[in-house]
Amino acid sequence: MRLLVLSDIHANLEALEACLEAAPEYDQVYNLGDIVGYGANPNEVTERSRDLGSIFVRGNHDKACSGVTSLQDFNPIAGLAALWTRHQLAPDHLEFLQRLPQGPLQPIENVQLVHGSPRDEDEYILMASDAYFLLARSAAPLIFFGHTHVQRCFSLESGASTGKSLVPAHHSAKGRQTVKLDLKARTHYMINPGSVGQPRDNDPRAAFLLYDTEQGSITFYRVPYDIVRTQEKIIAAGLPERLAARLAEGR
């Protein structure tokens, strides 16, 4: 089976379309949450995501934008964008977002899907030490996570005291880039596909990955998209300008 793993699309339609165009053939989509929030196309992106027939876990922005949680943990810019999104969302999409399941989900035996981490759906796993702690206790050998908007692979061999941290793509590279990783036996992985719609690893290119279960391989993707068009839509919608500027910076 070939699984397309998308995360943190954040209502960025141009980035989502560019990723789907760059994606190879796949059987199913795993969506790790934060479909909406920040971007100017919450209805279009929710509709497109639903049409893909994905398996979803919810993100903190999905919860806040659909009113499942309050905005008190959001910074002012994220809060403004969440309120704007809530007003924009068609009732059907709002209800869909409200009903998204909490991670972790285990769609196949060796894979867990989470937005933040297996122990807390809102936790940011940025530090390798946190990832290794979780990997030593993980319920599945392969955990896909999002939330940090940083494309990354943490791995831990069974019995090892410390693991490895891999930064797949390099932001100095231009154009479309793929990096393939062969998964090893007796090793646990926490893998973040990166963010489709708001990368924060100093690389403005949209990010996702493909997991080939038969090959036992992960292919990381970075894909350029029409950032200027996305920025114009954010400004035209009256959303905070910072949300447009950061897309070009990739942070």
Q: Which residues of the chain form contacts with Zn ion (CB under 5 A)?
A: 8, 34
Q: Select the residue whose beta carbon is closest to Zn ion and give its number.
A: 34
Q: Which is nearer to Zn ion, 3 or 65 (CB)?
A: 65
Q: Which is nearer to Zn ion, 7 or 219 (CB)?
A: 7
230 to each of 12, 160, 237, how far by Cα in Å? 7, 44, 11
CA end-to-end span of the chain: 33
Nearest-approach distance from CB 5 to Zn ion, in angstroms: 14
121 by DSSP, 3-state: which?
coil
Nearest-approach distance from CB 59 to Zn ion, in angstroms: 6
Amino acid at residue number 57:
V
> Do 180 and 166 meet the contact criterion of CB atoms below 8 Å apart?
no
Q: Would strands 2-6 and 206-212 be described as parallel, antiparallel, or unpaired?
A: antiparallel
Nearest-approach distance from CB 200 to Zn ion, in angstroms: 9
- φ, ψ of residue 52 to 5 degrees: the values are -70, -15
Q: Which is nearer to Zn ion, 34 or 203 (CB)?
A: 34
> Do 54 and 7 meet the contact criterion of CB atoms below 8 Å apart?
no
Here the tokens at position 212 are: 């080939």
Nearest-approach distance from CB 39 to Zn ion, in angstroms: 11
- For residue 251, give the DSSP letter: -
Q: Which is nearer to Zn ion, 14 or 34 (CB)?
A: 34
202 by DSSP, 3-state: which?
coil
Nearest-approach distance from CB 33 to Zn ion, in angstroms: 7
Nearest-approach distance from CB 116 to Zn ion, in angstroms: 10
> Do 179 and 170 meet the contact criterion of CB atoms below 8 Å apart?
no
Q: Which is nearer to Zn ion, 34 or 121 (CB)?
A: 34
Helix axes 227-236, 241-249, angle to 10 degrees: 170
Q: Which is nearer to Zn ion, 130 or 157 (CB)?
A: 130
